[in-house]
Amino acid sequence: MKITVFADSGWDYTYVCEADGEFPRQATFSSPGFKGANQAVAASRAGADVSVISLVGDDDIGRKVISNFKSQKVNADKVITVKGRTTDKFIIWIDSNGDNKITGEPELYALYTEELVGEHSELLKGSRFVITNACLPTKFLKYLVDLCAVLGIDVIFTPCYDSARLPLGKDELEMLRKIKYITANEKESLRITNCSTIEEAVRKLPNLIATKGAGGVYFMDGGKVVHLPAVPVEKVVDTSGAGDTFCGFFAASLAAGNDLVTSVKRGLVAASLKIQKRGAQISMPTGDEVTLLASLTKI
């Protein structure tokens, strides 16, 4: 079953903290990134049939983003090159613990509009799942979620790194309840529910899949809170894209017909493999790697 990612794409410039505790003057490496693109690549590596609708600038980086989608077996026919604009970029700072901080002000986000959604309604109709995220304008998100509801398409949604981009008024909370699954880290989960604990958050928003890093993941199943422990790793190298990896593999597993618990487990295993390497997309595992580790891991 097909997955369509209707979201952002761009390029990451990553600075890794050196042994002396300082960051280098030049990026340690650069690579394709951004939440939507990361999730599309993760779902494709998991074995799903993935298409992406996204915006890039009319520049070499934009062309590299499109080329990367194709190399990752993601259908990029609907990636739009915006004339006269540059492709969005993020700077990612990786500290000595492997945790990341993301900075940047993407300019193409404002071009994700209700009209853009309407122009691609035919492509959406053939999708089992549509994935999007809260980094994009709220009006765009509401229209996309409402259209998918009318078309009978399940939406998988993730808050962005800055959850404050998603206001939590009555209309926004109503939108969240229309979404099939929300995958979010602990901070995002507490922010969007105004709760003080993850257990309370998933009870308040039963479609929430709340990840807690080394603390595993919490979600509702059969009317009860389920907790699955994280997969132990020897060393955390870089958490960039871990949540996107989880989301992509989770979505791909659901699209393949697996149940909720199985799909969450595959997301956990995939994320555990990703955080042991540098980079986001460039360090995502394959479906076969996840299947092998899952067979050897008791969760």
Positions marked active-site: 244
Residue 164's CB is within 10 A of a number of other CB atoms, namely 10
Query: Roughly how many angstroms between the first and final C-alpha of the chain, as a whole number?
Result: 27
Query: Rounded CA gap, 172 and 169, in Å?
Result: 5
Q: Which of 59, 73, 62 is nearest to 8 (CA)?
A: 62
| Residues pairing with 130 in the sheet | 4, 155
Q: Which helix (H) or strand (E) is 169 found in, with range?
A: none
| CA–CA distance, 241 with 94 (Å, rounded to integer) | 12
Give the three-state DSSP class for 57: strand
As a whole number of angstroms, the distance between CA 44 and CA 287 comes to 9
Cα 136 from Cα 159, distance rounded (Å): 10
Strands in 118-201 per DSSP E = 129-133, 154-158, 181-185
The values of phi and psi at residue 82, to 5°, are: -90, 115
